[in-house]
Amino acid sequence: MNSIGPLFLLLLCTSVGARPANLIAAAYERADAAQFYKHLSSDEQKEYNDVARVFRKMLVAGIPTTFHDFVRLSNAQYPELHEKLVVHEMEMNDREKTLPEAVRKFVNARRSEVDSWFLDGELNEPAFVRSVKLTASDISEMTDSDKAALFEFYPHMKELLENKHFQKFLAHPDGINDNLRAILVSSEEE
């Protein structure tokens, strides 16, 4: 089952409240996923975060996973949360099917890259940096209507593209430099 993939969840694991702590994570936070999380009770949010911690360990260990795996992982400990996640997953998949083809292609391309980010439990910096660069170049090739659909789907993506550190990184994309690091550390400072 092709679901939202691990990217959002990996980056969400650094979240503070309902908003991810860094701008790259926030850029890939789907509007519907953010709303789902905000509507959970505080106990359910804690349960969600417990599952996210385990899920993140799986991703970092290099285990290929999807959002469907996240949903299944919640079942054993948190059956009520699991029921909500099952419904949410179906709604998310339905929503994704309505996106323009170029946006679906973009989403699927970013998902497929996540598995290459961790090799033997270590961040594969070139693969991560490549994904970040492709984010900008793929969006620049979209039509205005596709960009509008993408920005509705990922409401903070435009904020990332317009960020001064991100712009400087794109001018000199030589690895995780100070500009990319500034985006990864926090979006609160901008």
State pLDDT tens for residues 92-135.
889 999 999 999 999 888 877 876 777 766 777 888 888 888 99
User: Is residue 189 assigned to a domain?
Assistant: no
As for how many domains the chain has, the answer is 1
User: Is residue 158 assigned to a domain?
Assistant: yes
pLDDT at 21: 57
Contact assessment for residue 183 and residue 129, using Cβ atoms and an 8 Å cutoff: no
Query: Is residue 43 over pLDDT 50?
Result: yes
pLDDT at 8: 44
Q: Which residue has the tokens 């961040």?
A: 123
90-101 b/e (C-beta count within 10 Å ≥ 16 → b): eebeeebeebbe
Q: pLDDT over 90 for what percent of the chain?
A: 36
Q: Which residues contact 157 (CB under 8 A, 6 or more apart)?
A: 27, 28, 139, 150, 151
Least confident range of 9-23, 26-40, 44-58: 9-23
Q: Greater confidence, 14 or 32?
A: 32
How does the average pLDDT of the chain come out, rounded?
Answer: 81
**Residue 186 — pLDDT band, cuts 50, 70, 90?**
low
User: Is residue 27 assigned to a domain?
Assistant: yes
Q: Which of 22, 16, 24, 33 is nearest to 153 (CA)?
A: 33
- Rounded CA gap, 14 and 22, in Å? 8
Query: Is residue 10 over pLDDT 70?
Result: no
User: Is residue 20 assigned to a domain?
Assistant: yes
Contact assessment for residue 184 and residue 62, using Cβ atoms and an 8 Å cutoff: no
User: Is residue 174 assigned to a domain?
Assistant: yes
**Residue 66 — pLDDT band, cuts 50, 70, 90?**
confident
Residue 119 sits at φ, ψ, to 5 deg, of -120, 120
User: Is residue 168 assigned to a domain?
Assistant: yes
75: its two tokens:
């079942």
User: What is the residue range of 97's domain?
Assistant: 8-182
Across residues 21-26, what is the average pLDDT?
Answer: 72
Query: Is residue 87 over pLDDT 90?
Result: yes
User: Is residue 135 assigned to a domain?
Assistant: yes
Contact assessment for residue 171 and residue 150, using Cβ atoms and an 8 Å cutoff: no
User: Is residue 187 assigned to a domain?
Assistant: no
> In this structure, how many other beta carbons lie within 10 angstroms of the beta carbon of residue 125?
12
